[in-house]
Structure formats: C-alpha cells, structure tokens
Chain A
Amino acid sequence: MKRIVFVIACASSLSASAATPAELLAQYQAEATKASSGFVPSAQRGGAFYVRHFSANAKMPACTSCHTDRPVQPGRHVVTDKPIKPLSPVANPERFTDPAKVEKWFKRNCTEVTGRECTPAEKADVIAFLLDGGGQ
C-alpha cells in the first residue's frame, strides 16, 4: 500500500511539471468556465487575438511583432533581434509542455503587449489557435 501511494505521489509530481498542449488547453478551459459557464475555446477567436494590435506598446503591438503572422515559423525579438523558435507546438513540440514556463511567458508577454494579463479564456483560445496549426 505504501508503495502504491509513493508511486502515485511520484506520478502526480511528474504531471505537475510536464504536460501536453491539449492538457494545458483543458486546464485553461476549466478556469475560464468558472468565470463564464459554457465557455468553449475557439481557434478562430484565438487567431483574431493573436493578430490584434494593442496600443500599450508601440514597439511590440501584437503577438505577431515577435512571433510573426505564421507561428509555425521562427520569429525574431522585435527589439533585440534574437531568434525565437516557432511558437506553435505543431512546428515546435517543446512548446506548451511546461506549465510554469507557459504561465511565466503568458504573464510577461501579455503584460508587455496588451498592457494587462491575459484571461484564462484568451489563453485557451490562443492555444486552440496554435494547435489548429494557426497561420499555416
């Protein structure tokens, strides 16, 4: 019995640090449903959000400023010119597999581009868009 508990504890700690993009999407969907029951992620809405120009930051007005119009392609940081690997998990399987990293960059990049943090619904929509092969 003790051993089983130990194995379960190990397995659950693994799932806390590694995930699939679909699992992350489901988590954000569950969070979004709390605020608005019946919320269903939309790749189309995510795509519109992805290309939308915000007025918070003249240098990087949209996700596309660094991640390009086609997130299956590599991008470049618009200020520093540093190469950025493709954002879409379709092209880059490392993306959206580390929940802490995903939260960190959503927080940073949403604040930088939109001037505020993104809602769970917006995050779910964007992941849906990227998983849908966004911009391919």
Chain B
Amino acid sequence: MKKTLILIAWLAPLAAQADKARMPTDAPPAFQSECGSCHVAFPPGLMSAEDWRQVMQRLDEHYGDNASLDEPTRRTIEAFLVRTAGPLLKLGAGAPARAGEPPRLTRTRWFQREHREVAAADWNHPKVKSPANCAACHTRAAQGSYRESEIVLPSGRRWED
C-alpha cells in the first residue's frame, strides 16, 4: 500500500506536466483581464517560474509596450504564474531574441520542439504576425485549449489532414 502511494506521488507530477498548455482552473480574475487583453492569456505552464518572475518584474518594458500594473495586482499575478509555472528542466529557458529583453515563451527548447514541423511559410503568413499569436492556428487558444485536433493553419489546412 505504502509502495503504491509512493508510486502515485511520484507519477502524479509527470501526469500534470503532460499538458503544459492547460490553463489552471484557479487563475485569479486579474490574470485574464490584465494578461488577456492585448494577447491570449498564455498558459503559465509554458515557461519556468524564474522566467515568469523576470517578465513580471519588467512590465514597463514588455516587448515594446509599457504594461505596468499596480503593485498588488502585479504581485497577485506573479504569485499565480510562479505557482503554476512549468519545469525549467523540461522546457528550457525562454532565451530572449534580443539582449536585454525579458524571456519569451516562444523561445524555450520545448516550444521550438513542439513547433518544429511548422513551415516557415506558416510562421510568416500575414495573419500570424507573431509566434506568440497562439490563436492564429490554435483555434480555441482563447478558451485555453491547445488540442492538436483544433489546429487550423493560416492557409486553412487542418494540422491533422
């Protein structure tokens, strides 16, 4: 019995990590309203706790925008992101494209590997604009869902076809 419990305890985090793009159900309301207005509210599991901390500590230089928040809101969102962040070892760091920028979730080893079959023509499609525009292909990204069966490329082709 004890052994079974230990096994479950050991496997549980693995199962939780299986779907990094899943949106935690206990996100504070401020997360959606503050982080989901200009872009999709990204699933926290896509980046490590340390990377999220860096993003949240430099909101005044948020990839070209000033996304500053009042301190209580900033702290609430940072705590949520850090608590639900993904594992650095599996994701890799979100190494920024330009020196001095905060980390980018599109620059982790995990993101790059997951998207390795996406053709340059799709990335560069005028509808896409940015690799962080999840909803360009993940048709239910706004609802926090990233299933393969829901992917439609900007050309109109379904990923699974």
Chain A contact residues, CB within 8 Å of chain B = 59, 77, 79-82, 108, 111-112
Contact = CB atoms under 8 A, between A and B. Distances in A.
Contacts of A108: 66-67
A3 to B, nearest CB: 32
Interface of B: 37-40, 64-67, 127-130, 132-133, 135-136
Contacts of B67: 108
A79 B62 CA distance: 12
Instruction: Name the 10 nearest CB pairs between A and B, nearest first.
Output: A80-B39, A81-B129, A81-B133, A77-B38, A82-B39, A80-B38, A80-B133, A80-B130, A82-B38, A111-B66
Contacts of A112: 65-66
B128 to A, nearest CB: 7
Contacts of A77: 38-39
Nearest to A59: B64
21 contacts: A77-B39, A79-B65, A79-B129, A79-B130, A80-B38, A80-B39, A80-B40, A80-B129, A80-B130, A80-B132, A81-B127, A81-B129, A81-B133, A81-B135, A82-B37, A82-B38, A82-B39, A82-B40, A82-B133, A82-B135, A108-B66
A79 B38 CA distance: 9
B130 A81 contact: yes
A8 to B, nearest CB: 28
A53 B144 CA distance: 35
B90 to A, nearest CB: 26
Nearest to B39: A80
Nearest to B65: A112
A109 to B, nearest CB: 10
Nearest to B33: A101
Given A81-B127, A112-B65, 7 more contacts: A79-B38, A80-B129, A81-B130, A81-B133, A82-B38, A108-B66, A112-B66
A111 B60 CA distance: 12
A79 B130 CA distance: 7
Contacts of B133: 80-82
